[in-house]
Structure 1
Amino acid sequence: MALSAQQIPRWLNSVKLSSFMTALQLRKGFQRPGKTLLCGVFAQPHASSEDCFLQWGFRTYRTSSMWNSSQSANSSRREINCAQSTLLPSVNEPPQKTQKMPGLDSELSLEGLDDVPPLSPLQPISDEEAVQIIAGPPLPPSSVTLRDYVDHSETLRKLVLLGVDLSKIEKHPDAANLLLRLDFEKDIKQMLLFLKDLGIEDTQLGPFLTKNYAIFSEDLENLKTRVAYLQSKNFSKADIAQMVRNAPFLLSFSVERLDNRLGFFQKELKLSVKKTRDLVIRLPRLLTGSLEPVKENMKVFQLELGFQQNEIQHMITKIPKMLTANKRKLTETFDYVHNVMRVPHHVIVRFPQVFNTRLFKVKERHLFLAYLGRAQYDPTEPNYISLDKLVSVPDGIFCEGMAKASIQDFEKFLKTL
C-alpha cells in the first residue's frame, strides 16, 4: 500500500541516525522481489509511486546520516551517483553488475568517532592515575613575606644567592611589587655588571642591594650620567666606589641635587673645593641625607657652644660626623668637658674626637684621674693628659700610661660609681 503524503514526514522522523538495525529493516521491508539497489537508487525503469516515495526517503536518510562526518567527500560521491542514476539503461547495453550498497554500520561507526565528547576535567580517574599526578605548591595570592614567593621566582632565588636579605626588604610595601616584576636577565644582570665595574665587590653586592633595592627601578643611562658628573668634579674611581658603598642611595639622586649639595657645603662652611670634596668622601651621607640636622648643628656650634667659624671648619674637617650628630649629645658633651673638666675652647678645637665618644666613657676616666690627682688637661702644665688619648686608647694603656695604675684598680673604682 502506497504511503500518503501526510505519512511521509512521520516515517522520516522515526528514522534514527545511530541505529543501524532500523535502517537495515527499512531497506529489507520496502525492497520488492526482482529489484536491485544501485548505489542507493532503484534500477527498475518502471517504478510505482510507492517505490518513488521510498527511494526519496531512503536517499534523504543517507544524506542526513553522512552529513556531519564527511560532508565534502560524501557530497562529491552523491553528485556522481545521482548523475549515474538519471541515465536509463539502453536496450543494447549489457546489464550492469549489481553494486552492493555500502554498509551503514561502517558509516555510522565513523560518525561515532567524530561524536566522541572531549574529556571533562570533572571526569573521575583511577587511584593509579591520581598517584602519578605531580602538582607544585600554589602561588599565594597575598603574603606578608617574600619567602613564600622564592620557589616561584628565579629573580628572588638569585638575589638570595647574592646575599640580599629579603627579610629586611619585605618591610617596605613597594619592594615585593618591584622585585617580583623584574626579570633577572633583562632587568638585573646589567645593573650588577655596572656596580661591579664601579668597584663594588661580589661580597658587597648583597648588603648594597638590601639597602637600595630601588636602584633596579633606575635607568642605567641615568646612573652612568651621575657617575660621569662626579668624575668631572675630580672624584676618582676609588673615591666614587667608597662613597657608593658607604651611601648606597648616592646614585639614586639626580645630577642637579648632587650639584646643589656640593655647592651648599662649600658655601655655608666656607670650604675650598678640595676640602669640600674630602668632606663628602669621608661622609657621603651628607649628599643623601636631610640638611636640617646640618643647619641646626651649625647654629648650635656658633650660638650655644661659642665656637668661631674657622674653629668649626677645623673640627668638621677632622670629624665630619659632628655635622649630623645629635644636638643633645653635642651640648651635653661640651658642657661636661668645658665646664666640669675645665677644658678651654682652643683645646677642644684641637681634639674634636671628644664629640665622637660616648659621654659615660669620658666621665669614668676623668673621675678616675681626678681620684688619683692626675686630671691635668692644660698642655702648658706638667703631667698633661691629652684629650685625644683620653678618649681613644684602650683601658689597659689608659691605666698604665696616664693613670699610672693597674687595670684592676680601675675596675674596682668603677664599681664605686
Structure 2
Amino acid sequence: MSMFSACAKLCLRCRGLLSLKNSTHLHYVHVQQSMTVGKSTRISNAILSRRNHTAAQSRLNWKRQTSYYYDYTAKYLTTEAKESKHTEDVPRTDVPEYKPALVPTVDALPLPQNQISVDLDADDKPSALEEISDEEAVGISIPSFIPPASVSLQDYVDKSETLTKLVQLGVSLWRLEQRPNVGSMLLRLDFNRDVAPFLLFLKEIGVEDSRLGYIISHNPFILSENLENLQARVNYLKSRKFSSETVASMVSRAPYLLNFSVKRLDNRLGFFQQQLKLGASNTRSVVARLPRLLCGSLEPVKENLKVCEIEFGFKQNEIQHIVIAVPKVLTANKRKLTQIFDFVHNTMKVPHHLITKFPQVLNSKFLRLRERHLFLEYLGKAQYDPDLPSYISLDRLASLPDENFCTDLAVATLEDFYLFQKTL
C-alpha cells in the first residue's frame, strides 16, 4: 500500500513537472512572438514617427527590457531542466504541492547595467529627420567644403584663394564661366605658384594694375603660357622698334597678343606691310593703334580691302590714307561699311577725295549721320563742298555732340532738332 502511495505521489510530481515545463515553454514562445511583433511594430513606428525623439527613447528602453527578459527566461529553463534531471535520479518522499511558476512581468524587472546590450540596431540611432531643440541646433558644427559641382564660379569664391584674389583684381568671373573648361582650370591653380608670376611679368613690361583684371577676363589662357615664351614675344616686338610703352598698350588692349608665337607675329606684320604697301613706320602705326590686327582672322581684312577698291572705287593711295587714319576700316562690318559709303557718296553727293580727306565718316553711326543730314537738308544748309559758301565739314558733322551740331552747324535749337527726329 505504501508502495502504491509512493508511486502515485511520484506520478503526480512528474505530471506537475511536465505541466511546469509546458507552461514555461508557452511563456518562451509567447516571448519570442512578442519580440517579433514588437520588432515589426517598432520598425513601423520608426518610419511613421521618426521625428519623435521621446518615442524613439521609449522603444530603446523596451528593447533593453525584452532582451533582459529573454535572458531571464533562458536561465529559468536551464535551471528547471537541471532540477528535473536531479529529481529523476534521486527519488524524493516529500513532494510538495504543485504551484504554477511565477514569471516576473516586464515592468517588475530591474535593468542591471551589466545586462544592457550595447549592440543596438541602426533604427535606434538618432535620425537626421528627428526634431531637435534650438540649443542642439546651435551647437551643430557644419564642416567647410568646396561644392563638388556648380554652374557658377561664385559658389567657389569663398573657398578658393585664387578666385578670391582674382575677383579683387577685377576679373569678371561671369565671363570666364561661360567658356568651357576655364572654371575647372582656375580652381586647380595655386595663386602664388601659378598666377602671381604672370601678374608680375605683366607689370614689369608696363601694364597698369587696372588692366590686369581685363586681360585675364578676356584671356585666361595666358596663365598656361611659358614665361620664357612670353618674354621672347615681347623682345621681338621691341626689336621691330615698338617702344616699351607701345608694347604695354598693345598687350592691354589685345589680351591675346602674347599667346601667338614670334613666327606668327612676324608673318602678320609682313602681311599688312605687303597688302597695304606701307613702310615700316606706317605699318607699326596701324598695328599699334589697332593691335587686334595681329590676333584676329585675316579674312575680313582681305574682304574689306577688296570692297574699298572694287565696290567703292578708291585708289590705292586713297585706301592707304584711309587705313592709316582709321585702322578700324579694316575690321569693320562689311554691311555697315557699305551702307555708310553709299549714303555719303550717293545721297549726300560727297566725292571720293573728300571722303578720303575725312575718313572718320566711315566709322560713324549711320543713324546719326542720316538724321543730321536730313535736318540740314530741311533747313537748306546741306552743303559739303569746301569751294562753296556755308561749307559743312564731314568730320564735324559726324563727331560733334547734338547741342554743338545745332548751334554751330544747323543754327537751330536743340528742341527743333528733337521735334524733327520724331517726324522721321
TM category (shorter chain) comes to 0.5 to 0.7
2:308 is aligned with 1:301: yes
C-alpha displacement at 1:245, in angstroms? 0.9
2:384 is aligned with 1:377: yes
C-alpha displacement at 1:303, in angstroms? 0.7
Aligned to 1:265: 272
Amino acid at match of 2:405: F
Aligned to 1:339: 346
Output aligned runs, 1:10-409, within 5 Å.
134-409=141-416
Cα contact 2:145–2:159 (8 A) shared by 1: no
Aligned to 2:8: none
Amino acid at match of 1:375: A
* TM-aligned CA distance change 1:369 to 1:131, over 3 Å: closer
2:158, 2:391 → 1: CA distance? 65
What per-residue deviation string (whole Å, max 9, x for no partner) do you get for residues 194-232 of structure 1? 111122222221122111111110011110010000010
What per-residue deviation string (whole Å, max 9, x for no partner) do you get for residues 307-341 of structure 1? 01110000010000000001111111111111111
* TM-aligned CA distance change 1:259 to 1:124, over 3 Å: same
Amino acid at match of 2:244: K
- SS class of match (2:143): coil
C-alpha displacement at 1:350, in angstroms? 0.4
With normalisation by structure 1, the TM-score equals 0.68
Aligned to 1:33: none
What per-residue deviation string (whole Å, max 9, x for no partner) do you get for residues 353-382 of structure 1? 111111111111111111111111111111
Amino acid at match of 2:355: I
1:134, 1:411 → 2: CA distance? 65
Most deviating of 292-301 and 402-411: 402-411
2:375, 2:297 → 1: CA distance? 40
2:246, 2:312 → 1: CA distance? 33
Amino acid at match of 2:160: S
* TM-aligned CA distance change 1:376 to 1:129, over 3 Å: closer
1:136, 1:148 → 2: CA distance? 16
1:409, 1:132 → 2: CA distance? 72
2:198, 2:321 → 1: CA distance? 39
1:341, 1:224 → 2: CA distance? 51
C-alpha displacement at 1:129, in angstroms? 10
Cα contact 2:173–2:217 (8 A) shared by 1: yes
* Count of residue correspondences: 298
What per-residue deviation string (whole Å, max 9, x for no partner) do you get for residues 240-288 of structure 1? 1110111011111111111010000000100100000010110001000
* TM-aligned CA distance change 1:133 to 1:398, over 3 Å: closer
Amino acid at match of 2:382: A
- SS class of match (2:158): helix
2:266, 2:412 → 1: CA distance? 54
C-alpha displacement at 1:133, in angstroms? 6.1
Most deviating of 404-413 and 227-236: 404-413
Aligned to 1:27: none
Aligned to 2:20: none
Cα contact 2:300–2:331 (8 A) shared by 1: yes
Aligned to 1:119: none
2:400, 2:391 → 1: CA distance? 16
C-alpha displacement at 1:154, in angstroms? 1.4
* TM-aligned CA distance change 1:333 to 1:129, over 3 Å: closer
1:395, 1:148 → 2: CA distance? 46
1:405, 1:135 → 2: CA distance? 70
More helix by share: 2
With normalisation by structure 2, the TM-score equals 0.67
Most deviating of 161-170 and 407-416: 407-416
1:344, 1:130 → 2: CA distance? 82
C-alpha displacement at 1:152, in angstroms? 2.5
Amino acid at match of 1:355: L
2:255, 2:168 → 1: CA distance? 20
- Where structure 2 has 5 or more consecutive residues not aligned to the other structure, the ranges are 1-123, 127-131
RMSD of aligned residue pairs (Cα, Å): 2.3
Most deviating of 131-140 and 146-155: 131-140
Amino acid at match of 1:241: A
C-alpha displacement at 1:130, in angstroms? 9.7
2:368, 2:409 → 1: CA distance? 15
Amino acid at match of 1:261: R
C-alpha displacement at 1:237, in angstroms? 0.8
Among all aligned residue pairs of Structure 1 and Structure 2, give the percentage whose two residues are the same amino acid: 59
Amino acid at match of 1:271: L
Most deviating of 376-385 and 264-273: 376-385
C-alpha displacement at 1:131, in angstroms? 7.3
Amino acid at match of 2:336: K
- SS class of match (2:217): helix
C-alpha displacement at 1:393, in angstroms? 0.9
- SS class of match (1:151): coil
1:337, 1:174 → 2: CA distance? 47
